[in-house]
A and B are shown apart, each in its own frame.
Chain A
Amino acid sequence: MSKTTAPVQRRTKLSCSEIWKLYGPNADRPAASRDEVESRAANGRCFAALSDVSLDIGEGEIFVVMGLSGSGKSTLLRCLAQLVEPTFGNVELDGRSLTRMGQAELREVRRHDMGMVFQHFGLLPHLTVAGNVALPLKIRGEKAESRDHAVATALELTGLAAMADRLPAQLSGGQQQRVGLARALAVGPGLLFLDEPFSALDPLIRRELQDELIRLQAGLHKTMVFVTHDFSEAVRVGDRVAIMKDGRLRQVGTPEDIVRQPADDYVRNFVAGVDLTRVIRCATAARPASRSDYAHAVSGQGRLSDAAETLMAAGGGPIAVQGEDGSLIGEIDLHAVLAAVSGKSLAGEPA
């Protein structure tokens, strides 16, 4: 798990500014100005699925949009993917405006730089696993040899190589979603949209695929927009998480930011339900080192839960917390862990 505490300065891959999406009478008509869209949203006949959403999503980051049903999270994803045209606002990919792009140009972008994974997989029942993965390549007119190569690579990556000739109906749900993932990866896109990709799966399979996604991402460094209604999934897979309610962003930040400093009671409610030892990293909980030599050490990147065994072996600590290069960041002991989890005081800073 290659995650860093401090947000890395990333180049912006996908961004949206002041996105509005209205539903209702005349809602298909795009608004010319911000004033217009606001007054239309306020007059009560339209329903605003998205109100004034602005985001910058960095290259190579898994950006999770979390919200309950009706929060507008799927609408946001669909606006970003241009499956739905926002009533107002701009979406940019690599500095090019998707919203102002013509159909043909958008098609080219989608053929080369976008992939999407669906909640209910969206596999074509008559095509084999390999056929499904090959489909987007066929659509963009790829030659047979390079197509076969790309399909084989994608299947290898998702652990499906042995199942290439099966039909979707012969696969389990988890395997079907692996096919969905392989298909999205096959065109080698820089940007992936994942619309509740694991929500239709059993809890155990869901965890397995979450781990798989994190593992894949460590090697691929794709930019991903990941929509979920499951807060623990959000903080598990996300580099950053946006929490939505009623079409607005309530909080955007790293999982640790959110669990440590929930912006409001709404967010706090979600935080109450997660196991904080699986979110907070050792480096975050560490206090300044009190000596120079420790018998045990853990990685600062690891979560508190990962340090549990070492802490037990050390009789409760203190043990060293090391940076990626092996340098000493600080120390933790049981007290520090409890303090971090209870949120009372963290390494000298008041909560």
Chain B
Amino acid sequence: MTRFRPRAIWLLLPAAVAALWIAQQFSWATRFPKAWELPVAKTVSKSAAVVTDNLSWLTRLFATAIEVPMTLVVALLSEGGALTLGGFALDLPPLSWSGLALAVVWLGWRTGGPGLALLQALGCAYLLFFGQWSAAMLTLASVVIAVPFALGAGVVLGIVAWRMPRLDRWLVTPVLDLMQTVPAFAYLVPTLVLFGFGPVSALIATVIFALPPMARVTTLALSRLPGAITDLAAMMGCTRGQALWRVLLPAAMPMLLVGLNQTVMMTLNMVIIASMIGAGGLGFDVLLALRQLDIGRGLEAGAAIVVLAIMLDRQGRVLASGWSRGQAVSRRRGLGLVLVLGALLGTTLLGQIHAPLRAFPESWQVTTGSTMDSLVAWLNVNFFDTIEAVRVFLLMNLMNPIRIALASAPWLGVMTIVAMLGWVLGGWRLAVLGLGVGGFCLVTGLWDETMTTIYLCLTAAILSVSLGVPLGIAGHRWPRFGKLLTLAVELLQTMPSFVYLIPVVMLLRVGDVSAMIAIVAFAVTPVIRYTMAAFEAVPPALTEAGTVMGCTSGQMLRHVQLPVALPTILLGINQCFLFSLAMVVITALVGTRDLGQKVYIALTKADVGSGLVAGLCLGLVGILVDRLFRAAAARIAPQEPSSHA
């Protein structure tokens, strides 16, 4: 359709040269003049203050409404406590650890067989013996509360978007895009201001964060239903409600359940992050340990997060795939359920008399904290030179050059290049988007921070690609290695982004290199996954044709596999960049000086305006990068003959 515009490239070069020339002549073109900036952040803060002042009754009402179920679940799972409802006070004991663990293992057994049961048992054992149970249950309580809200809102929004394609196209999709690219941190600021420090605002931020994927999946699942299903609904004489609830949603359920699993994982991720505004639980422990540089405790709590994530993820997946095979709902499970609930209740009641049933005895608990401390100390003593050499090498040869180039680049030149790139790849709309995004960063006075962010992401992307693509290719070529790789990638993806920071900081101290390694560890996963998938998807007929032509494996790679796989790999790199952006914010905790830091500072000061504006900057940059990559991928893709008719 849209042919490549070679002439545009010839425009690109002189335009960039001209911009650079102007930048050298006039200082205003190098550094954006302060006088041209607009007080966006201040205005936002002021209007937020007005909203807060006038709507405090609403937010308070809202907070109270959420607090009741929240207290209930938290009391039951974690701490016990009193639930007060208009005068009545109900004293709730926490559910016994033994009963809960039994229930978890039983569920694993019934749905996933002995393998899953073993996994869940080991998980519970870790949490119990390492003294993480109570914190983990607090985290779980937040997840349990947040998921239904995110789920309900997501499904409803998804249905609305599906019913009204025009609304979807012009409002819902762009807003969801923004919600997904604006980093989680940025949500915390306004919720903090509206609802105050505490579990309720953490919950609200979590719900907002976890909602977009569910809405997306719902819209997608509904619109991807085979035509026969929608026709069937019409031909059976369904009303709109019947069609939706009896036919379409059930038929879309396998995909919706995948979305549900994703929602659970995102919720967990966000609950960890939200510990900054008082969510408590494992995230808070990690945060505390990070601040105190308490290596052992940080690692243990971090590992507990990973354990919890894996347990939730595996159980969720089994439930999702089991449902679509129609096996999750069986009629003969009644007895087991009754027994387990009985055990749960029994142990809880007995726990009132017999303390060890109520709380896991402390004398049984172990900690590896001191061992970990000494291990890290030992590593630092013995490998300091090696680690330092790697650190300095990265800094001197890769990071600093990019940082300096970006930091010293005149804004006019950067804007010109972005606009031209947008125009070449995707036409004038993309060029305008590029200018808009750049302009926003300029007038809000966040240009330098944006450049630092891009420097971090760019470096991380370069590292991730040079690491991930070869790994992915190797994983495709040697299937056994590929399996291991898939397992590792899945594990890495299950881990909440927060956790990545712990080991890096332990070994490399705070700074850009630590941030970089954490970002790469997080962002390399999509590159590996997409590369493997892209190579899998190369039609066998093509590789066979290559073999018959007598290609060596190198020639096959260069002439057959890479060209066909490239569009998909490009999408993987796109994901990598977006992952990096999301992680950059979190690395603000280890002292980077980017947009994330701005958000983080705004969070500590409860400054809505700068928090939101910096968050928006990040989100907009994310969207721009996303659109540029997609346009590039689309430009490459149609050159191959379409084999999928």
Contact = CB atoms under 8 A, between A and B. Distances in A.
Interface of A: 78, 81, 83, 106-112, 114-116, 118-122, 124-128, 135-136, 138-140, 167, 169, 193
A124 B251 CA distance: 6
B38 interface: no
A268 B324 CA distance: 48
A136 B251 CA distance: 15
B235 A81 contact: yes
A140 B238 CA distance: 8
B71 to A, nearest CB: 36
- 8 shortest A-B CB distances, which residue pairs? A122-B228, A111-B237, A110-B237, A118-B228, A107-B237, A116-B235, A136-B236, A167-B326
Nearest to A120: B228
B247 interface: yes
A121 B253 CA distance: 18
Nearest to B232: A122
Contacts of B251: 124-126
Interface of B: 226, 228-229, 231-232, 234-239, 242, 246-247, 250-251, 253-254, 323-326
- Say what secondary structure dominates the interface of chain A: mixed
B323 A126 contact: yes
B323 A114 contact: no
Nearest to A122: B228
Contacts of A169: 325-326
Contacts of A135: 236, 246-247
A110 B253 contact: no
A122 B231 contact: yes
A169 B242 CA distance: 24
Contact of B236 (A111, A128, A167): A111
Contacts of B235: 81, 83, 110, 114-116, 193
15 contacts: A78-B231, A107-B239, A110-B234, A111-B236, A111-B237, A112-B237, A114-B235, A116-B235, A119-B228, A120-B228, A124-B247, A125-B251, A125-B324, A135-B236, A139-B238
Contacts of A83: 231, 234-235
A81 to B, nearest CB: 6
A140 B237 contact: yes
Nearest to A125: B324
Contacts of B234: 83, 110
Given A109-B237, A110-B237, A125-B324, 8 more contacts: A83-B231, A106-B237, A110-B234, A116-B231, A116-B232, A122-B226, A122-B231, A135-B236
Nearest to B327: A167
A124 B236 CA distance: 13
Nearest to A118: B228
Contacts of B226: 120, 122
Contacts of B254: 125
Contacts of A114: 235, 237
B246 A138 contact: yes
A112 B237 CA distance: 9
B229 A122 contact: yes
Nearest to A78: B231
A124 B229 CA distance: 8
Nearest to B246: A139
B228 A126 contact: no
A138 B324 CA distance: 22
A126 B325 CA distance: 7
Contacts of B238: 107, 139
A122 to B, nearest CB: 3
Contacts of A124: 229, 247, 250-251
B47 to A, nearest CB: 43
A169 B231 CA distance: 21
B260 to A, nearest CB: 15
Contacts of B242: 139
A269 to B, nearest CB: 25
B320 to A, nearest CB: 12
Contacts of B323: 126
B235 to A, nearest CB: 4
Contacts of A127: 250
A188 to B, nearest CB: 13
B236 A139 contact: yes
A324 B238 CA distance: 45
Given A125-B326, A135-B246, A138-B246, A108 B237 contact: yes
A331 B586 CA distance: 93
Given A108-B237, A111-B237, A126 B232 contact: no
Nearest to A116: B235
A120 B229 CA distance: 10
Contacts of A107: 237-239
A80 to B, nearest CB: 12
Nearest to A166: B326
Contacts of B253: 126
A303 to B, nearest CB: 34
A111 B239 CA distance: 11
Contacts of A128: 326
Contacts of B237: 106-112, 114, 136, 139-140
A139 B235 CA distance: 11
A140 B246 CA distance: 12
A124 to B, nearest CB: 5
B323 to A, nearest CB: 7
Nearest to A113: B237
Contacts of A140: 236-237
B287 to A, nearest CB: 42
Contact of B231 (A106, A118, A125, A136): A118
A81 B237 CA distance: 11
A113 to B, nearest CB: 10
Contact of A126 (B231, B236, B250): B250
Nearest to B324: A125
A225 to B, nearest CB: 12
